Amino acid sequence: MTEAEQRDFIQKKESKILKGNIAAAYAAKSARVQVISAYPITPQTTVVEKLSEFVDGGLMPGTQYIKVESEHSVMASIVGASIAGTRTFTATSGQGLFYMNEMIHWAAGARLPIVTTLASRGPAPPWNIWADYFDVINARDTGWMSAFCSTHQEIYDEILMSYKVTENPDVMLPKFVAYGGFVLSHTSKPVMIEEQDLVDKFLPPLPDEEGWEHIFIDPERPMMHGNLIMPSGFYMEFRMKIHDAMVRAKEKIKKVAEEFERMFGRSYGNGLVQEYKLDGADVGIVIYGDLALQMEQAVDELRDEGYKVGMLKLRYFRPFPEEDIRKAAKKVKVLGVVDRATAFGSPTGGPVSSEVKSTLHNSGIETKVLPMISGLGGREVTLEQQKDQLKILVKMNETGELPDDLLYGTLWHGKLEVE
């Protein structure tokens, strides 16, 4: 057996068929989180349900599980637990995240290394519980980092990597790990749950172990925190430091992904993005979340048919990997950007296509960008539709013309036909 085959063999032996939500719960367990605060909301609920089973069954000794009356209180209690010096975890979705909003800002401003998973769902009204990344995108300017997952294994892996990034003393910012509601949260696939010893070796020490580098409140060392700061005080400078930490987190994210690959054998590109068959491609597509995995299949099938297509999977929305976007854009003549989220009134399409366009502005890169919106509110995106999206880009490259039916410059793909 080659080394790769051996790894495959071990991987298979240790994997279980798990729902995405259950993979998230296992990750929190593997990370030995010490405080979980929970309030149920579809489609996240089974994450915190599974964790309550673990805690109740004695599988997470020492972990405090707090039940509260709302998502606002979830994040308030997590903020308290985190600043008291514990590793914390919670999960939410859509409206739950919106209700948490005030405390979300607090968590980032207080520089707390909280990790929260989102089984992302479309915002109401009308009520919607299915995949749509608007919820995490809506937290764009809160100071939280945000990452998307496209596979079940990635949910587990990304949560582990998250603690190593958030708890880095140079970062000290909270982070969302988002994956599509139902399409990932409730489907089941093989997931490798790693040995506890290995995970312990990979992650930083827990707050009550030696080597914890984050600040925490301690009656023995009184300090003031979160008090009123006058306009002449350091408020502006604190904000600057958050921005600086966020941008510099990119290097830490890359390093953590490298260390993760070395220890567990699973690669996530450079941590921020994953290129797929972009070399030698005429057209490329930037895509994130669940849609990215299926797009790989679409790229494969079109490559087999002779089309020169490739893709860039975006793993992080904040910090935004602008260098990697420019690098990818340089390789192709036409770049599509698929958003499973909206940015109403934006002059540049969806939330991610807006970032891509502003990243390329004034960079001297002439690549044409086509914003696309697809799969809102869990609307099914089939493999055939994704192949069609790529073919639209191929045609744009051949004719030099934009597709016909754009809505203010954006292609809304997979609409219902109205008679």
Partner 1 sequence: MKNQKRKVGKKVSENGTIEISFAGRGGQTAVTASKLLAQFVYEKGFRDAIAIPIIGAERRGAPISAFTKISKTQQIKTYDSVVNPDYMVVFDISLLQIPKFKNVIKPKTTLLVNSDKALDRDKLPQIEKIYIIDATGICIEHKFMLSSGPILNIPMLSAFGKITGFYDLNTMEKVIKEEFGDKKADLNIEVARAAFNSVKEG
Under rule CB under 8 A, residue 239 binds partner 1:
no
User: Taking contact as CB under 8 A, which single stretch among the options 115-123, 186-194, 219-227, 242-250 is the one that binds partner 1?
Assistant: 186-194
Smallest separation, CB 198 to partner 1 (Å) = 22
The backbone torsions φ and ψ at residue 66, rounded to the nearest 5 degrees and listed phi first, read: -105, 125
Under rule CB under 8 A, residue 6 binds partner 1:
no
Smallest separation, CB 285 to partner 1 (Å) = 15
Closer by beta carbon to partner 1, 170 or else 305: 305
Smallest separation, CB 167 to partner 1 (Å) = 32
Q: What pairing do the DSSP bridges indicate for beta strands 15-19 and 188-192?
A: antiparallel
Smallest separation, CB 128 to partner 1 (Å) = 11
Task: Please enumerate in sequence order all residues whose Cβ is within 8 A of that of 47, keeping only pairs 6 or more positions apart, or say none.
Answer: 21, 22, 24, 25, 28, 91, 117, 119, 185
Task: Please enumerate in sequence order all residues whose Cβ is within 8 A of that of 338, keeping only pairs 6 or more positions apart, or say none.
Answer: 285, 286, 287, 288, 291, 295, 372, 373, 374, 389, 413
Nearest CA among 302, 119, 370 for reference residue 294: 302
Closer by beta carbon to partner 1, 188 or else 346: 188
Among 7, 189, 308, 333, binds partner 1 (CB under 8 A): 189
Judged by CB under 8 A, the chain residues 347 through 386 that form the site for partner 1 are 380-384
Under rule CB under 8 A, residue 14 binds partner 1:
no
d(CA 72, CA 79): 11
User: Taking contact as CB under 8 A, which single stretch among the options 169-177, 187-195, 228-236, 320-328 is the one that binds partner 1?
Assistant: 187-195
User: Taking contact as CB under 8 A, which single stretch among the options 79-87, 197-205, 259-267, 296-304 is the one that binds partner 1?
Assistant: 296-304
Q: What pairing do the DSSP bridges indicate for beta strands 188-192 and 368-374?
A: unpaired
Closer by beta carbon to partner 1, 119 or else 329: 119
d(CA 164, CA 302): 38
Among 6, 196, 267, 297, binds partner 1 (CB under 8 A): 297
Task: Please enumerate in sequence order all residues whose Cβ is within 8 A of that of 241, keeping only pairs 6 or more positions apart, or say none.
Answer: none
User: Taking contact as CB under 8 A, which single stretch among the options 100-108, 208-216, 290-298, 313-321 is the one that binds partner 1?
Assistant: 290-298
d(CA 371, CA 286): 10
Answer whether 133's CB lies under 8 Å from 292's CB: no
Under rule CB under 8 A, residue 182 binds partner 1:
yes
Measured CA distances, 135 to 53, 77, 102, 287 (Å) = 27, 21, 14, 17
Closer by beta carbon to partner 1, 12 or else 239: 12
Site string for partner 1, 84-103 (x = CB under 8 A): --------------------
Under rule CB under 8 A, residue 12 binds partner 1:
yes
d(CA 337, CA 269): 19
Where do contacts with partner 1 occur on this chain (CB under 8 A)? 12, 15, 17, 19, 43, 182-184, 186-190, 290, 293-294, 296-297, 301, 380-384, 387, 414-419
